[in-house]
Amino acid sequence: MKSETTQYDLKKVAVIVCLVLAISGLHLFLTEEYVTAHVVARELYFLPIILATFWFGLYEGVLTSVAITLFYIPFSFLNWDGFAPSDVDKVLEVILFNIVAVVLGILRDREKAREREKREAIAALAATVAHEMNTPLFVALGTLDLMQDEIEADSELGEDMKRVVENLKTMKKLVREIGAIEDIVTRDYDGTTRIVDLKKSATVNNKRFDANSLFCEIPA
C-alpha cells in the first residue's frame, strides 16, 4: 500500500507503458531462432523498471516489475525447453526484475523522504523567520499610520514618512514571500554570487505551511 499520494506525470507513465509494450512486442514477434535478440530484449525490461522506481518510487516500480512478470512467465512457459540452461536464466531473470524493483524502490523512497523532510524544515524555518519579522513591521506601520494623522501630508516630514511607509510595505511583501518558501531555488546575482529566488522558492497556492496564518494583519 502506498504511504503517500503520488502526483503522476502522464508523460512519464506513457513512456513506461510504451517501453513495456514495445519490449513485450519484440518477444512476441521474434521467433525462437533469434536467441540473442530475445536475451537483449529481456535485459531491456530493466529500463522501465528503473525509470518507474526513479520517477515514482517503490510502489510503481514493483507494479511495473509485476506487470512484466505477468507477461514474461506465460511467454517463458510457451517456449519451455525442459529446464534447459536458457529456461533457468529466464526464471532467474524474472526474480531479478522484482528484486531490482524492490531494492531501487526502497532506496528511492528513502531519498524522497529525506528530500521531503528537508523541504518541510526549510518551510518551517522560513515561516518562523517571517512571523518574527512581521511583528516589528506591524508595530512600525501601525505607529506611522497614527503619526501620519498628526503630520501634514505635504510637509517635508510627511513626504519622508510616505517613503518610509512604502519601504516598509515592500518589506511586508518580502516577508510574505519568505513565509511561503517551500524549497530553495537560487538565481545568479552578480556573476559570482547566487541568491535565493523568493518567487520561485515559494509555492503560494500549494504550500504546506500557511505562512499568512502566522501573521498579524499589517495595515495596507
Residue 25 placed within a domain: yes
Q: Are 67 and 17 in contact (CB under 8 A)?
A: no
pLDDT (mean) for 119-135: 79
CA distance 180 to 130: 9
* Residue 187, domain member (yes or no): yes
Q: Is residue 14 part of a domain?
A: yes
Range name among 19-23, 53-57, 183-187 with the lowest pLDDT average: 183-187
**Residue pair 94/72 in contact by the 8 Å Cβ criterion:** yes
| In a shared domain, residues 108 and 28 | yes
Q: Are residues 72 and 102 in the same domain?
A: yes
Q: In the prediction, which pLDDT does 63 show? A: 94
Determine the Cα–Cα distance for residues 112 and 3; give it in Å rounded to an integer.
12
Of 81, 113, 145, which residue constitutes the final position of a domain?
113
Taking the CA atoms of residue 201, residue 212, residue 169 and residue 150 in that order, the dihedral angle to the nearest 10 degrees is -170
Total tally of structural domains belonging to the chain = 2
**Is residue 181 over pLDDT 80?**
no
Check whether residue 92 and residue 122 sit in a common domain: no
Cα separation, 161 vs 141, in Å, equals 10
What is the rounded distance in angstroms from the CA atom of residue 184 to the CA atom of residue 136?
A: 25
Residue 152 falls within a domain, yes or no? yes
Cell numbers placing 69: 512478470
**At which of 113, 133, 153 does a domain end?**
113
Which grid cell is 58?
517503490
pLDDT, tens digit, 9 for 90 and up, residues 67-103? 999 888 776 666 655 555 666 777 788 889 999 999 9
- Bridge partners of 194, per DSSP, are 188
Query: Domain for residue 2, yes or no?
Result: no
Backbone angles phi, psi at 13, to 5 degrees: -60, -45
Q: Is 198 found in the same domain as 210?
A: yes
Q: Which residue has the higher pLDDT, 39 or 112?
A: 112
* 14 and 89 together in one domain: yes
> Cα–Cα distance between 86 and 81 in angstroms, integer?
8
Give the per-residue pLDDT at 127: 78
Work out the mean pLDDT of the chain and round it to a whole number. 77
Amino acid at 116: R
Contact 108, 58 (CB under 8 A): yes
Enumerate residues 6+ apart whose C-beta is below 8 A from 124. 209
Whether residue 210 lies inside any domain: the answer is yes
pLDDT at 28: 76
Domain boundary, last residue among 113, 133, 155:
113
Q: Tell whether 126 and 46 lie within a shared domain.
A: no
Check whether residue 81 and residue 153 sit in a common domain. Answer: no
The answer to whether residue 3 sits within a structural domain is no
pTM above 0.75, yes or no: no
Which domain covers residue 190, as residue numbers? 115-214
Cell of 150: 498628526
pLDDT at 210 over 60: no
Question: Does one domain contain both 108 and 160?
Answer: no
